[in-house]
Amino acid sequence: ESLVQSGADDLERAAEAALRPRRLEEFVGQRVVRDQLSLVLDAARNRGKAPDHVLLSGPPGLGKTTLAMIIAAEMGAPLRVTSGPAIQHAGDLAAVLSSLEEGEVLFLDEIHRLARPAEELLYMAMEDFRVDVIVGKGAGASAIPLTLPPFTVVGATTRAGLLPAPLRDRFGFTAHLDFYAADELERVLVRSAGLLGVPLDPAAAAELASRSRGTPRIANRLLRRVRDWAEVRGDGTLSLVAARSALDVYEVDGLGLDRLDRAVLTALCTRFGGGPVGLTTLAVAVGEEPETVETVAEPFLVREGLVGRTPRGRVALPAAWTHLGLEVPHPSGT
Ligand code: ADP
């Protein structure tokens, strides 16, 4: 299990929920997105209307779910949570839509994985606040148009590019979340340590921040693992030694890369001679879904200058070889 993925068990999920910022002003970093969103929400509040539909994109663990919850909280509105993969049929979505309350925030995680018929139903509902409910089956089935109260869809996707344009166009506000800077992650960690009531040394906070892959979810998970280490093997303080020891136990390397990241890099450098190699081939080599490699591992590797994307596939950049402790090969033919 990669540290970034959300397929964690219930305990992890509960621990994560406890550390979620509830208000926009508690949300660390992403200043531009925060400013823009606060304007959208203030304007909606002044008009006494539900805010425009919001689309949030970005790699996992950067705060999309948290922002959806914050939008509902800031509007004093109820929140409904579902996801693309959870909606099998258009009828499932129609049932959700037709039960929404006025002003409700509907969070649709992994919206790019909605099936096509559900997606089409969603356009209409977002645009006209209307949904056709199908009653009966086969030749006797009929569509009953139903008017919906105003509501706000908050869609989340790991890649906005995966959304069909007609769906993307239904969102009045679109924001892309980027990886966090180390000083922002330090603030996330200090806040979380405060909430958990554990003493976190500044040096440990800095070490964890620099090795959290730019991702608040990972920073919080590592913090809990350091707390484990400190309680079991240390003296309870989250010191630099405790931080480094826990990072070793969980095989987080100097750049913060986890096992999946390193598997991708290693396959790219050693099995495919540095590439270019197609995404699917690379994914098979590391035993993962192409989408996981593309949306979970790759964005950070690209950002760190380890991997490049070319029209012919993924390539290892010189820093990748160096990071793995391998000799950078000479360009072929020399
Ligand atoms: P996503 O939906 O993008 O995968 P989440 O919203 O679930 O990410 O965030 C994962 C965890 O990281 C949450 O527990 C939340 O507490 C924390 N987190 C994310 N963004 C921030 C932030 N800007 N400030 C503080 N904590 C954050």
What is the chain's pLDDT, residue by residue, as a tens digit (334 residues)?
Answer: 455 554 557 777 888 888 999 999 999 999 999 999 999 999 999 999 999 999 999 999 999 999 999 999 999 999 999 999 999 888 899 999 999 999 999 999 999 999 999 999 998 899 999 998 878 888 888 888 899 999 999 999 998 787 889 899 999 999 999 999 999 999 999 999 999 999 999 999 999 999 999 999 999 999 999 999 999 999 999 999 999 999 999 889 999 998 899 999 999 999 999 989 999 999 999 999 999 999 999 999 999 999 999 999 999 999 999 999 999 887 654 4
Directed axis angle between helix 216-232 and helix 240-249, to 10°? 110
Question: Has 129 been labeled as part of a binding site?
Answer: yes
pLDDT score, position 334: 45
Q: Please tell me the pTM assigned to this model.
A: 0.91
Question: Has 19 been labeled as part of a binding site?
Answer: yes
The pairing of beta strand 307-310 with beta strand 313-316: antiparallel
CA-nearest residue, atom 16 of ligand 1: 20
The pairing of beta strand 152-157 with beta strand 54-57: parallel
Residue 65 to residue 20: CA distance in whole angstroms: 9
Whether the bond into 164 is cis, omega within 30 of 0: no
Residue 333 tokens, joined: 């033919």
Q: Contact, 105 vs 71, CB < 8 A? A: yes
The residue type of 77 is A
pLDDT score, position 229: 94
Q: Which letter does DSSP use for residue 201 in this model? A: -
Distance 260 CA to ligand 1 centre (A): 21
Distance 286 CA to ligand 1 centre (A): 27
Residue 146 tokens, joined: 């139903």
pLDDT score, position 3: 56
CA-nearest residue, atom 14 of ligand 1: 16
Residue 220 to residue 192: CA distance in whole angstroms: 7
Question: Has 61 been labeled as part of a binding site?
Answer: yes
Which of 25, 66, 195 has the most ligand 1 atoms within 8 A of CB, as the residue to mutate?
66
Q: In this structure, how many other beta carbons lie within 10 angstroms of the beta carbon of residue 17? A: 11
* Cα angle, residue 157 at apex, residues 305 and 115 outer, rounded to 5°: 130
> Which residues are the active-site residues?
64-65, 109, 158, 217
